[in-house]
Chain A
Amino acid sequence: MTNVAFKKPLETYREDFTYSNSEKAIKRFPFPYPEDQYMYSVNMEYHVRGETGSIYENIFDVDEHYLSEMEERRIVLEKDPNRFVTLSHMDLHQWDVLELLMESFAQDYPKYFSLTKDGDNWVWENHPLGIKQSFVFGDKSTLPCEPAEYITRQAQGDFVLMDQRDNDLYADTAMITCAADWSVPFDLGMSFMEWHGPVPLAHGMGVFERALKYLLMIRLGQPVRRLNWTLTINSRMDTSPEVYHEWGHERGSITPDNVGEKIHLRVEVQTLFRLPRSNGMLFGIRTYLISMEDLCKNPEWAQRMHRVVKNLHPEIMDYKGITRYHKTLQGWLSQFDQQ
C-alpha cells in the first residue's frame, strides 16, 4: 500500500513560491531525456505499473504535493472558472473519467480514498481532502458540479477528454489549471492537428500523423504514456496565456546567481486511456516540477541537462520560451559537464 507524506503547511505555486521537492520526490522525478540531444518523436510506451515508490507504481500518481496542488487548482478556478470547459455531447466521457479516477484511486490508495457502489448509488470518500459524497452514477444533479470537474478537482495534473470521430480526436472537455503556455478555452473543440498546430518541426517530420493513427487504435485496458517537457521560471504551475502578464516577464529575471533556484524543469507525464462507455479518450497531463539546483544533485542528470540545453534546436528553444535565458542557463549548467 502506498503511503504519502502530504506536504504541510500547503506549498504555494505563486507569489512566494514555497513549493519544493523532498529527497524522495527528487529521486522519483521523471527525468525525460534518453539522449544528449532532444528531438520530437512518437515516444509512446504502454502505461504499465512500475517499481514500488516510482511515479509509475500506480495508475495515477498521488504524491507529496497533492493537497497543495489541489489548493492551487481551487485558486485558479476561483479566479477563472473557464479553466474547466465542456461541450454538450461529452456526458458519457465525463462519467467514464469519474469512474476511472475514482476506481483507480480507491484501488491504489485504499488508505486515502474509497468508493462504495450499490447499483448506481455510489459513495465516494476522499480522506486527505475531507470529502464524502453520495451520488447517483449517471445523474449529474446529484453532484455539486459537472462530473469531470468534480473528480479532477481531486486529482493532480490536467485532463483533456477527447471525443473520437471522423478518424480524429477532438478536445471537447478539459480541466486545465497548469498549462504549459496553451489556452484551453481557445483550444476547446479543436481536432488533434489543429490543437498541435503551433508545435514547430514535428509536423514536417510526420510525427502527428503517426501519433494520431496510434492513438486512435488505443484499446480498452491498454493505456499508453509519453513524456513531454519544458522549462518554467519559478515553481509556477499556472503558466497559461490567460495570465501571461503574471509570468511572462519572469523570463527576464534570470541571472547566473539565480538559475539553480529559479529555473525549473517541467515534465509532463502524458497518459492516454480509452474510455469504455463513450469510446473517447482521456488525455492526462501530470506535471512535475524540479528546480535546476535539485535536478543537478544527480550528476548524470546534470551532465545530460547541459548537453540537451546546449544542443537544443533554435525553433524548439523559441517555442518553449527558453531563448531569452538560454545562454545564462547553459553557462550555469556547464559546471556539471567537464568532459
Chain B
Amino acid sequence: MSTNFSHTARIIRADQVTPLIKHFSFERVDGKPFSPFSAGSHVIIGMDDGTESHKNPYSLVGSSNNFMEYEIAVRLDSTGRGGSLFMHNNVEVGSEIKIGNPYNLFPVYKPAKKHLMIAGGVGITPFMTYIDEMDLTHSNFELHYSVRDFENGAFAKELQDKYPNQVNLYIQANGIMANFNEILDNQPLGTHVYVCGPHQMVADALRIADEMGWPVSSVHSEEFKAPEPGNPFTVKLARSNREINVRSRESLLEALENADIEIPYSCRGGACGFCKTEVIDGEITHRDYFLTDAEKASGKCIMPCISRAQGDHLTLDI
C-alpha cells in the first residue's frame, strides 16, 4: 500500500471558530477537484515545521458535494506532541500542507432506519458530514451535542439554525447535561447510535447503551487515539540490519519514517490496521484497537503508530 500523500493543498480560509478550534478550508495547488468522500471520512494532514514533521488525522467537515475544497477543524491540544499547535500557530491562509486520500473508519450504517448521533466537543467533526449526507438522502436523524459553553460549541449555532428539530444542544456551563439514559430510551427499532467525543463521554454512552440492552452492532463510536509520549527505546531492524532510536515524544512509526523506512498507514491512531509490523524480540506495550487479544498476547506484532516498547528495545522483522 502506498503511503505517499496524494496532493499538496493550499489553505484558503482559516477561522478561529471557538477559542480552541480552528477551521481550515483548502484547495489543491494544481487547481483540480478533490475526490468525493463518504460521511465520517478523515484525511491525514502532513505538516513540516522545519525541525519536526507531523502527520495527523482529521475528520473532513465540509460538504461532501463541494470537491474544490476540503475542510477540517483542529482542536488545540497543548499537552500533545505539537501537530495541533503547529496547525494553530503556523498554518495560515496561503500555507501549503500535504494531504492523503480520504479514508473512513467511522462510516454511516446505511440500512439504519434512524441515525442517533451523540457528540461532545470537537467530536462534532465527523457528524458535520453525517448530517450533510442525511439531509441529502432525507434520512431520519437526531444529534445530541454537548459543549462546555456556547462559545466553545464549534458549529453549534449553524447546526441549530439549520436543523432546529433535529439538533439538541447541551451547554454544560448553563447546567444542561445530556442524559444518555433518556436519549437512548424509547428509540424506534432499527436506530443506530454513533458516539464521538472525549474518552469518558464515549465510555459512558457505550456503557449505558450496553446496560439498556442495545445490540453491539447498533452502537458505533469513533475510536481514535493520538500517540502518547513514552520512554525512549532502541529499535533493531532484523532484515536491513539497522538500529534506530525512538525518542520519547515521537511514535515508533514516526521514528521509522524519519529514518526513511516506509510503513503503510492510514489512521495513525491504532484503529485501521495498515501499519501492523512483525516483532521478533522485545516486550510491547500495546495501545491499539486493532489487534486481537490473542495477537497482543503473542507479542509477535505491533501497531507502530501508537504502541511502543515496554523496555528499552524492540527487534522488528523489517
Contacts and interface: CB of A to CB of B under 8 A. Distances in A.
Contacts of A278: 38, 110
B79 interface: no
A166 B192 CA distance: 12
Main secondary structure of the interface of A (DSSP, over half): loop
B107 interface: yes
Contact of A91 (B6, B137, B217, B272): B137
A220 B101 contact: yes
B110 A276 contact: no
A276 B273 contact: no
B36 A276 contact: yes
Contacts of B101: 219-221
Contacts of B272: 217
Interface in A65-98: 87, 89-92, 96
Interface in B52-72: 64
Contact of A279 (B41, B137, B274): B41
Nearest to B111: A89
B276 to A, nearest CB: 10
Given A276-B102, A278-B38, A219 B266 contact: yes
B104 interface: yes
Interface in A171-223: 213, 217, 219-222
A217 B109 contact: no
A276 B273 CA distance: 20
B64 A221 contact: no
A276 B107 contact: no
B35 interface: yes
Nearest to B108: A279
A297 interface: no
Contacts of B273: 213, 217
B107 A164 contact: yes
Given A217-B274, A222-B2, A277 B103 contact: no
Contacts of B35: 220-221, 276
B173 interface: no
Contacts of B104: 279
A108 interface: no
Interface in B89-135: 101-104, 107-111, 133
A23 B110 CA distance: 47
A163 B266 contact: no
B220 to A, nearest CB: 9
Contacts of A277: 36-38, 64
Interface residues on B, range: 20 to 34
A164 B36 CA distance: 17
A279 B36 CA distance: 10
A210 to B, nearest CB: 13
A138 B136 CA distance: 9
B107 A165 contact: yes
Which one of A90, A163, A222, A278 has the greatest number of beta carbons of chain B within 10 Å?
A278
B107 A222 contact: no
B294 interface: no
A164 B35 CA distance: 19
Given A219-B1, A277-B64, A165 B109 contact: yes
A165 B110 CA distance: 8
Contacts of A89: 110-111
B107 A220 contact: no
Interface string A98-110: 0100000000000
Interface in A282-307: none
Interface in A249-287: 275-279
Interface in B1-50: 1-2, 6, 35-38, 40-41
Contacts of A92: 38, 110, 133, 137
Contacts of B102: 220, 276
A175 B38 CA distance: 23
Interface in B222-279: 266, 272-274
Contacts of A220: 35, 37, 101-103
Contacts of A221: 6, 35, 101
A165 B192 CA distance: 12
Which one of B35, B36, B37, B266 has the greatest number of beta carbons of chain A within 10 Å?
B36
Nearest to B34: A276
Contacts of A279: 38, 40-41, 104, 107-108
Contacts of B38: 92, 275-279
Contacts of A138: 136
Contacts of A276: 35-38, 102
B283 to A, nearest CB: 26
18 contacts: A89-B111, A90-B110, A92-B38, A92-B133, A96-B36, A165-B109, A165-B110, A165-B111, A217-B272, A219-B266, A220-B37, A220-B101, A220-B103, A221-B6, A222-B1, A276-B36, A276-B102, A278-B110
- Lowest 7 CB-CB distances: which A-B pairs, in order? A279-B38, A89-B110, A276-B36, A89-B111, A279-B107, A220-B101, A279-B104
Given A138-B136, A221-B6, A277-B64, 4 more contacts: A166-B217, A220-B102, A277-B38, A279-B108
